[in-house]
Amino acid sequence: MGISLSRGAKWTTAGSGTAKLELTPMNESLMNEILRFVEQFSSQHPEEAEHVFDEPLQWTTALVASDFESESDYDISDSDIQSQEKDREGHPLLQLSPPVVNVRSFRQLSKLVNLAEAKRLGEVQACLEGNRDPLVKILGQDFADLLKRDDADTDVSHMQDQGKDQDQIKSSEVKVKLFQLLQIMDQRLINKLLEGISEKVKLDPTAVKNEVELLKKLCSEGEERFLKSIRYTSDFEFPNGCRAPLWRQAHGDMCYLVIEPYETENLYITCSSDGDFLNGGIQQMEDDSSYERKSEVFVDLVALLKSRFPNFSMNINKQDSAVQECPSTERSQHGDAVEQGRPHRSYEQQEGFVDMKARQQHTPVGADDGKKYKPCLRWKTLGLACACGDVEIKKCLRNSGETIGEKQNKQLGLGAKTNAVFSLHGPVSSQKMKTTAGALPVDHFSESSSESEDEEEQAERHPESSTDLPAEYWQIQKLVKYLKGGDQTATVLTLCAMMDFNLMQETCQLAIRDLGGLEVLINLLNTDEVKCKIGSLKILRKISHNVQIRRTIVDMGGLQSIIKILDSPVMDLKALAAETIANVARFHRGRRTVRQYAGIKKLVKLLDCVPNFANLNTNEEKDVDVARCGALALWSCSKSIKNKEAIRNAGAIPLLGHLLKSPHENMLIPVVGTLQECASEESYRIAIQKEGMIKDLVKNLTSNNDELQMHCASAIFKCAEDKQTRDLVRKYKGLQSLVLLLGKAENKQLLAAATGAIWKCSISKENVAKFQEYKALETLIGLLTDQPEDVLVNVVGALGEFAQIPANKTTVRKCGGIKPLVHLLTRTNQALLVNVTKAVGACATDKDNMVIIDQLDGVRLLWSLLKNPSADVQSSAAWALCPCIENAKDAGEMVRSLVGGLELIVNLLKSTNNEVLASICAAIAKIAKDKENLAVLTDHGVVPLLSKLTNTRDVKLRHHLADAIGHCCMWGSNRVSFGVAGAVAPLVCYLKSQDSAVHQSTAMALYQLSKDPNNCITMHEKRVVKPLIHIMGSNEETIQEAAAACVRNIRLLSLANRKAQLFQ
Amino acid sequence: MATARQHHRRGRTGFRCCSACPVHDMAEMSPMNRKLTQSLAESISKQVEHFNRTEVEFLIREFHVLMGEQTTLGRTVSGLDRGRFRSFLHNNFGMTDDMIMDGVFRTFDKDNDGFVNMREWIDGLSVFLRGTLDEKIEYCFQVYDLNSDNYISREEMFHMLKDSLIRQPTDDDPDEGIKDLVEITLKRMDHDHDGRLSFSDFEKAVRDENLLLEAFGTCLPDSMSTEAFEKLVFQEQLEQ
């Protein structure tokens, strides 16, 4: 811990006083590791945990007295707490007088972090911050010094010898052990850190220099210079190439840069060996605080600049290629870098990989020096807003001489610009405009998107003073004027002129809105002039890619007008209106409005087109196009649950089923998209199957279009919960297509959908057999590593199903699937954990597999998942433990080696979830086969807990509960205890249930219980004999035997009783 | 008799033939005449794209109805004169713009004799009511080419658009808006940059954006009035 802490952890360096641990990912993992260590310490090393520290660890805690109330072994007086555990001098080992806490043993430390619950990480941080050298305090100076030395091992024995008298030797033995444990821990931490560090490339002064030179070139070349200047803060260069003052070089800083962009405030950048980041504004020599990090760390300058300026990458590309465009296009760059329309999210973005949450927006400000844009940053995470954003904002204000009131206006919209930021990071970096169906909603399929992922809270952007607006703004202003004052002919001409602008560009979109154009466009929709309406809709369908425009359209009541147009007899109008609705209905309020104004019905009506898709004439083609647009609109609408219902009620399902037969991808994508979106509802799943759509869905799995394949696969994924559907997929030879899709591993969304479909299909055993023909299992095992989590969830789910068949268990092992599976047990995603535990459990039923699982410490991992907060994970982990315990070589010893494990499992009997209870009972039944473990279970009070559960009506729980009781009878006076706790009478009632599994386990339990005379009496009173005799007629020999033996015991007792009476 | 009834009905359904049209003539159409009409219709329908024989026959009759007054005056004229044709456009298709209506007349009157004769009438209506996009592009171009020099010049555009914007009293130059609109339109449509629209300019622009077909004024009927007119001429007569 010593080495890793002093070398690995990043301390904030600023100022005096107590240093703080920075919130870097590395520190966080470090603290997590320490936390886990401390948490498990007292259970894993009870003896060492007792050791009293040389000096107490002291820190400022967030815990208060009430946090300790749940524990009995603390003395609480007012707000002060003292532990009952004392050292030899009688000092309490834990003492809390808020806000300071003193702790003197690991045992107390573990307890404390366990009590802290959610605050635990904070406590660890506070502790580390308060005790910069914890080892000295724990072990004393001598030991700590040793630990810090690398060759510590050899010296330990010396220390041991130095112990003078017996007592000291004893305590020093413990100390040495503790010392060794800490050392191992330290080693582990360092390894972990190394792993992290080795992934990062360390920067060196030459690399920085080269990059600065490159950027300097960009400053001097080209008409579209982006950066005004870039300079070092210091001209003096040390021999090692660094320019930072020596004392800062110790922190890894190499030099400081001031970058002067054209359109924004200067950037102050620190180049350090770990990467580049914004600092507090180092000019020359300033106070310490300016050295503090104010942004994320970027790998190089270009990455930093890219994140600050969405259009920087464009610039750098442009300047690289040395293409000089005419100056008039300069202004439009801002928009070009912006990708409008629906965010085309990549996996990383969905997974939250994108660390860049700073969203940026350029605002024209009435600055004194002509054209100048100022950025305002919004740091969403990390709470850096005040540090950086405010400074920027204030500067903006000062420069433009605006009032504080306008500050609000500058908390700018995020809008479509964020996409540009994203696209720089995600692998799908599409700078191109997206208008076609292909760009439509692709970003949700695993579950119907919740309505909350809406764009409503987007901030506003306001028109600012006009001196520096782009030329388009003025042209659009003129056009809007003509629109307002023109007759039909002039209006149409003006609309056509407006279409010539780049309507996908935000400046244009917002200019149209801000200049009152949107209002006119919407008014035109209410006229009788078909051509004006067409023109207006052609513009609206494009600008409605902008989220703010969508909102404004709905605010102005424009959506109602558009919905009305759906009734028009003119095909073009209908198609355009539907297309516009497809955009506008991408946010919650839009979707609701469509529903409320009967738009769903009208849209569904559009789907009704030609009876077959071959040999269409022009008119029919138009008809089909209208249907396509209708499907697009319905797709957008189908993201609300109420809309799904409305769509179904409007009779869309058969129509969609008909359109599904279309040969055209652009039709199929919205249709299948809608279907898979709606398939989250049971009613749709049934309908999809009944309407025979599975056949078409399967057919389109072989399409050439990835997106279509993905939607088909995810529709099957959702529908294949149903057995008949699974059979149909097999019947139409869809299984092979699904396996083929696994080959497209680079498209993660497609892969997730395909693996999902395979998972659900493999629930049917016949399908698994079929999958085997296509070597699906081998491919799936290959997908166990390096995949995003939603792929993993599905892959592992499928493996769990495959492994239900014995032959596949061997295959999993032979293909090396066990190891990655066991590794996945350390993940945190609950859906994944449920599936992984299930798969591991299925594999563990094979003895050879179990050996490997045991070697990989899989049982311990499974066991620790019992602590997972999710009941699903708990139960599925417990189920998985059953075969593990059954098949492990030395199961009893293995279970015992998990310190605290048995207590944990007994405590889970207090759960309120029947599935958890059933699984835990099943696990207890397995554990109890080992006498020693049963003894421990009994000590932990398993008997009363089980007895308490006997009143359940849950069949599954009854089965496993009776099983557990039967097995727990085998120890000491447990039989009597069960009787005393009143478990016998309810068990007799179980015999009345219909389930034969319950009968079996109950009979066994009753047999065991009947060995105690008092239980026999209870049973007899509850009229057990008749049902038992009935059960004796069972086919199972063991049941027969158990029932008979039970009756025999009762009979014997009664005979003995009579004898006793006779001979009295 | 048939026509008398028909006229009566027209009155009821709101269809107005030329207001002065007296109720007579065709009633006396002899079987001979009828046969003549039929054979004429037969031959024309083979040359006209979008009408079948019966439809042509009805159009011929309609033509005669419109011609009605002229014939009674005893003068032998070959077709509808400008005034009559314009009132036909106004009554049936709601056209009001004089310049455009003149353009339509000019386009119908292919031989430029100041009258739309029967053949010109049927050919013209074929495009007017049922023309394909290509035909309509050609038709509209001719309507807008006021001086028939095969170009739509800046001045012609200005002329056609001059009343299309409300003039603000505050404007310095009341025509500024129109001029600007003309420039914007020219910039968009004039692909060979010669400052005027040739047919190919116009055709290309319309193909890019169909809305530009009637760029300089409505010269084609909308679908509603087309439907109403066809229903009136073709279907009502069928009922007889």
| Banded pLDDT at A144 (limits 50, 70, 90) | low
The answer to whether the Cβ–Cβ distance between A531 and B214 falls below 8 Å is yes
Percent of chain A with pLDDT over 90: 22
Q: Name the segment(s) of chain A with CATH classification 3.30.2280.
A: 205-314
CB atoms within 10 A of CB A271: 29
CATH numbers and ranges of domains, chain B: 2-132+222-238 (1.10.238.10), 134-214 (1.10.238.10)
Question: If you average pLDDT over residues A416-432, what whole number do you get?
Answer: 38
ipTM (interface predicted TM): 0.84
Identify the pLDDT of residue B28: 46
Identify the pLDDT of residue A25: 65
Identify the pLDDT of residue A446: 36
Query: Best mutation site among A480, A487, A501, A574 for testing chain B: the one with the most B CBs within 10 Å?
Result: A487
CB atoms within 10 A of CB A1012: 22
The answer to whether the Cβ–Cβ distance between B181 and A535 falls below 8 Å is no
Q: Sort out which chain A residues have CB atoms less than 8 A from B217's CB and list them.
A: 489
The Cα of A204 is separated from the nearest Cα of chain B by a number of Å equal to 56
Q: What is the DSSP string of A692-726?
A: THHHHHHHHTTSS-HHHHHHHHHHHHHHTTSHHHH
Identify the pLDDT of residue A563: 93
> Given A479, A485, A490, which is nearest B161 (Cβ)?
A490
* Residues A52 and A93: beta-carbon distance below 8 Å: yes
| Banded pLDDT at A145 (limits 50, 70, 90) | low
What proportions of chain A, in percent to the nearest 5, are helix, strand and coil? 60, 5, 30
B144 touches chain A (CB under 8 A): no
The Cα of A569 is separated from the nearest Cα of chain B by a number of Å equal to 10
Q: What pLDDT, in 10s, does the model give residues B131-183?
A: 999 999 999 999 999 998 999 999 999 989 888 888 766 666 778 888 889 99
Amino acid (one-letter) located at A185: M
B184 touches chain A (CB under 8 A): yes
Identify the pLDDT of residue B25: 42
Whole-angstrom distance, CA of residue A258 vs CA of residue A276: 12
| Banded pLDDT at A112 (limits 50, 70, 90) | confident
The answer to whether the Cβ–Cβ distance between A570 and B164 falls below 8 Å is no
Assess whether pLDDT exceeds 90 at residue A600: yes
> Given B163, B177, B218, which is nearest A482 (Cβ)?
B177
Q: Which residue of B has its CA nearest to A531?
A: B211
Q: Sort out which chain B residues have CB atoms less than 8 A from A569's CB and list them.
A: 223
The helix (run of H) or strand (run of E) holding residue A292 is: none
**Which one is predicted more confidently, A528 or A405?**
A528
**Which one is predicted more confidently, A429 or B143?**
B143
Question: If you average pLDDT over residues A220-225, what whole number do you get?
Answer: 56
Question: If you average pLDDT over residues A96-118, what whole number do you get?
Answer: 78
The answer to whether the Cβ–Cβ distance between B177 and A534 falls below 8 Å is no
Q: What pLDDT, in 10s, does the model give residues A497-541?
A: 999 888 888 888 989 998 999 999 999 999 988 899 999 999 999
* Mean pLDDT across chain A: 77
| Banded pLDDT at B69 (limits 50, 70, 90) | low
The answer to whether the Cβ–Cβ distance between B222 and A530 falls below 8 Å is yes
Question: If you average pLDDT over residues B54-58, what whole number do you get?
Answer: 87
Which of A114-128, A383-397, B181-195 shows the lowest per-residue confidence on average (mean pLDDT)?
A383-397
Question: If you average pLDDT over residues A371-379, what whole number do you get?
Answer: 39
B177 touches chain A (CB under 8 A): yes
Question: If you average pLDDT over residues A252-274, what whole number do you get?
Answer: 78
Percent of chain A with pLDDT over 70: 77
The answer to whether the Cβ–Cβ distance between A487 and B163 falls below 8 Å is yes
| Banded pLDDT at A346 (limits 50, 70, 90) | very low
| Banded pLDDT at A314 (limits 50, 70, 90) | low
Identify the pLDDT of residue A758: 92
The structure tokens 């139409």 sit at: A732
* B197: CB partners within 8 A, 6+ apart: B151, B152, B153, B157, B186, B189, B190, B205
Q: Which of residues 74-133 of B touch A (CB under 8 A)?
A: none
B32 touches chain A (CB under 8 A): no
**Quick one: which of A487, A788, A475 has its CA closest to B180?**
A475
Question: If you average pLDDT over residues A275-291, what whole number do you get?
Answer: 69
The answer to whether the Cβ–Cβ distance between A489 and B216 falls below 8 Å is yes
Name the most confidently modeled range: A326-330, A408-412, A979-983. Answer: A979-983
Name every residue in A having a CB less than 8 A away from some CB of B.
478-479, 481-482, 485-490, 492-497, 499-500, 530-531, 534-535, 538, 569-570
Which of A116-130, A252-266, A382-396 shows the lowest per-residue confidence on average (mean pLDDT)?
A382-396
Question: Is A890-1062 a CATH 3.40.50.1580 domain?
Answer: no
Q: Return the structure tokens found at A300.
A: 């190089």
Q: Return the structure tokens found at A412.
A: 């700018």
Q: What pLDDT, in 10s, does the model give residues A720-771?
A: 888 888 999 999 988 988 998 888 888 888 999 999 999 999 998 889 888 8
Sign of CA dihedral A775, A779, A782, A788: negative
Protein fold of A205-314: copper amine oxidase-like fold (3.30.2280)
Q: What pLDDT, in 10s, does the model give residues A958-1014?
A: 999 999 999 998 888 888 899 888 888 888 888 888 888 888 899 989 999 988 888
Whole-angstrom distance, CA of residue A35 vs CA of residue A33: 5
The answer to whether the Cβ–Cβ distance between A494 and B181 falls below 8 Å is yes
Q: Sort out which chain B residues have CB atoms less than 8 A from A488's CB and list them.
A: 218
Identify the pLDDT of residue B15: 41
**Which one is predicted more confidently, A578 or A366?**
A578
Q: How many A×B Cβ pairs under 8 Å? A: 64
Strands A80-83 vs A74-77: parallel, antiparallel or unpaired? antiparallel
Identify the pLDDT of residue B77: 64
Q: What is the DSSP string of A1004-1018?
A: HHHHHHTTSHHHHHH
Assess whether pLDDT exceeds 90 at residue A89: no
Query: Best mutation site among A472, A475, A493 for testing chain B: the one with the most B CBs within 10 Å?
Result: A493
Q: Sort out which chain A residues have CB atoms less than 8 A from B188's CB and list them.
A: 496-497, 500
Indicate the pTM of the whole model: 0.60
Q: Name the segment(s) of chain A with CATH classification 1.25.10.10.
A: 890-1062
The Cα of A486 is separated from the nearest Cα of chain B by a number of Å equal to 4
CB-side exposure of A355: number of CA atoms within 13 Å? 9
**Which one is predicted more confidently, A386 or A635?**
A635
Percent of chain B with pLDDT over 90: 25
**Quick one: which of A20, A386, A658, A1061 has its CA closest to A10?**
A20
